[in-house]
């Protein structure tokens, strides 16, 4: 019995080798199908991973409060006059939240300035952040050299600053950045005391607000009190017919909650505490934990959609196998009749044709797996996109290819087996 089965397999493979080009073209549908399933799931997994990592960097126990400018609500006539828009978080809000919300462990207040930094003849557009000494502990930044801002810098409103490594390379390409001078607006001079490295891109900041889409590699950090004392809280911008002025004390307040399970409840407590002092809703509350859960849900939906789209190509490949095998049955009608006349059973005929379809699908599946694993690496290398090939996706794609071979091969095999031997022998 075993020898007979092996013989049937040999006959099936031999039949495929007699038509190499046709067999190869038939396999192409399976190859592309398996390859697309693995590659698309890898690209989707990589994109999802980057999004989730960016959100994780914000901290699962953090709640971020951002100043948002409310609608100005001015007429055309008013736009010609100079006005000052005062909005956003204030330093008093920090103390108020710490007093009224017991689940807040600590806060990190920030004030942002978009300025031009100069060192000698070199200049670069950058974002200056007034921040607090514990900034490193509540961020993903790493100290490369020197030191970060300390309590003395905050207490005495020193002119010390810390810059990112990429900005250091731009302003100090051939010299040591430590103790170097950086000038803002050609008047405010700060001394570089440290260099930090910030990983990620604009997506590492919480979405929304006017800091969304802001690069992370051109930042300068000074103490918050130095920022208020030296750079002020007033921002002046020229507009058509006059000037617009904005007064903002804090652009961002990061609150660290004592436990993850208290994050969602604390969000409502913060909103209630700020509501009385901010009736115009000039702030927004961002909860990275909620964003992370949404990203995970989106990931699942994304993978299902991508997998379904790629799976369609496998079905198309299976239809191609069925079409070719039906044509093969027609071509080999006389051969089938001779084998039946010599005593071959229907089961043997079915097995022979199933073997051919399974060999086509499994062979195409193996080649598709190799290409499907290689393609994401090529995309990651040349397109600089994060891709993640998972073992389950590879196994799933290969199993689907094998199932497709069996499912779409059954009908042609049954049709071949059901041929009447006498009628088959009459076939020219």
pLDDT (tens digit, 9 = 90+) per residue, 321-359? 777 777 777 776 777 777 777 777 777 777 777 777 888
Q: Is residue 225 part of a domain?
A: yes
Q: Is residue 304 part of a domain?
A: yes
Statement to judge: residues 354 and 422 lie in one domain:
yes
Please say whether the beta carbons of 178 and 164 come within 8 A: no
Of 215, 216, 223, 224, the C-alpha closest to 194 is 223
Q: Is residue 219 part of a domain?
A: yes
Statement to judge: residues 305 and 416 lie in one domain:
yes
Residue in this structure with the two tokens 């990061």, named with its chain if needed: 254
Of 188, 186, 135, 189, the C-alpha closest to 164 is 135
**pLDDT for the residue numbered 351:** 76
Give residues with Cβ within 8 angstroms of 405, minimum separation 6. Answer: 30, 318, 321, 357, 358, 360, 361, 362
- Look up residue 385 and give its two tokens: 């996109």
Residue range(s) defining the domain that contains residue 43: 2-54+295-426
Q: Which of 256, 281, 306 is the last residue of a domain?
A: 281
**pLDDT for the residue numbered 58:** 65
The structural domain count of the chain equals: 2
Q: Is residue 75 part of a domain?
A: yes
pLDDT (tens digit, 9 = 90+) per residue, 151-177? 999 999 999 999 999 999 999 998 999
Q: Which of 221, 248, 281 is the last residue of a domain?
A: 281
Give residues with Cβ within 8 angstroms of 286, minimum separation 6. Answer: 58, 63, 64, 65, 66, 206, 207, 208, 209
Residue in this structure with the two tokens 């660290």, named with its chain if needed: 256
Of 103, 48, 89, 59, the C-alpha closest to 290 is 59
What CA–CA distance (Å, rounded) separates 228 from 170? Answer: 27
Statement to judge: residues 101 and 178 lie in one domain:
yes
Q: Is residue 289 part of a domain?
A: no
Please say whether the beta carbons of 133 and 149 come within 8 A: yes
Statement to judge: residues 124 and 261 lie in one domain:
yes
Statement to judge: residues 381 and 406 lie in one domain:
yes
Q: Is residue 347 part of a domain?
A: yes
What is the phi/psi pair of residue 392, to 5°? -60, -35
Write out residues in the chain with pLDDT < 70, as ranges.
1-5, 7-9, 11-12, 51-52, 54-59, 72-83, 199-216, 236-244, 291-292, 295, 306-307, 310, 332, 420-428
Statement to judge: residues 81 and 120 lie in one domain:
yes
Q: Is residue 59 part of a domain?
A: no
- Look up residue 108 and give its two tokens: 């990190």
Statement to judge: residues 411 and 272 lie in one domain:
no
**pLDDT for the residue numbered 77:** 40
Statement to judge: residues 44 and 92 lie in one domain:
no
Q: Is residue 396 part of a domain?
A: yes
């Amino acid at each position: 019995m075993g020898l007979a089965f092996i013989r049937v397999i040999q006959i099936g493979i031999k039949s495929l080798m007699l038509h190499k080009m046709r067999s190869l073209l038939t396999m192409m549908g399976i190859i592309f199908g398996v390859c697309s399933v693995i590659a698309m799931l890898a690209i989707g997994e990589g994109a999802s991973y980057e999004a989730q990592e960016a959100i994780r960097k914000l901290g699962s126990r953090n709640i971020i409060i951002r100043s948002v400018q409310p609608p100005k609500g001015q007429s055309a006539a008013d736009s010609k006059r100079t006005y000052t828009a005062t909005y956003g978080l204030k330093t008093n809000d920090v103390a108020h939240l710490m007093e009224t919300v017991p689940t807040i462990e600590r806060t990190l207040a920030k004030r942002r300035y978009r300025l031009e930094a100069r060192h000698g003849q070199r200049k670069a557009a950058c974002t200056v952040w007034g921040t607090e000494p514990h900034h490193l502990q509540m961020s993903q930044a790493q100290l490369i050299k020197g030191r970060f801002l300390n309590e003395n810098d905050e207490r005495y409103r020193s002119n010390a600053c810390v810059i990112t490594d990429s900005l250091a390379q731009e302003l100090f390409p051939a010299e040591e950045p430590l103790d170097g001078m950086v000038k803002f607006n050609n008047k405010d001079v700060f001394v570089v005391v440290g260099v930090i490295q910030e990983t990620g891109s604009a997506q590492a900041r919480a979405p929304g607000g006017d800091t969304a889409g802001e690069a992370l590699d051109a930042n300068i950090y000074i103490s918050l009190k130095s920022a208020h004392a030296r750079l002020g809280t007033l921002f002046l911008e020229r507009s058509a017919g006059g000037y617009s002025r904005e007064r903002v004390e804090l652009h961002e307040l990061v609150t660290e909650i004592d436990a993850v399970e208290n994050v969602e409840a604390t969000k409502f407590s913060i909103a209630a505490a700020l509501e009385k002092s901010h009736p115009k809703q000039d702030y927004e509350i961002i909860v990275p934990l909620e964003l992370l859960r949404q990203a995970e849900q989106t990931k699942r939906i994304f993978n299902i959609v991508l997998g379904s789209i790629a799976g369609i190509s496998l079905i198309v490949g299976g239809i191609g196998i069925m079409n070719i095998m039906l044509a093969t049955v027609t071509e080999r009608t006389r051969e089938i009749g001779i084998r039946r006349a010599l005593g071959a059973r229907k089961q043997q005929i079915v097995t022979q044709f199933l073997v051919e379809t399974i060999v086509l699908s499994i062979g195409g599946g193996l080649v598709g797996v190799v290409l499907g694993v290689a393609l994401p690496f090529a995309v990651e290398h040349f397109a600089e996109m994060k891709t993640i090939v998972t073992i389950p996706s590879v196994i799933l794609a290969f199993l689907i290819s094998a199932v497709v071979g069996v499912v779409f091969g059954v009908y042609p095999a049954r049709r071949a087996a059901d041929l009447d031997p006498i009628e088959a022998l009459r076939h020219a």
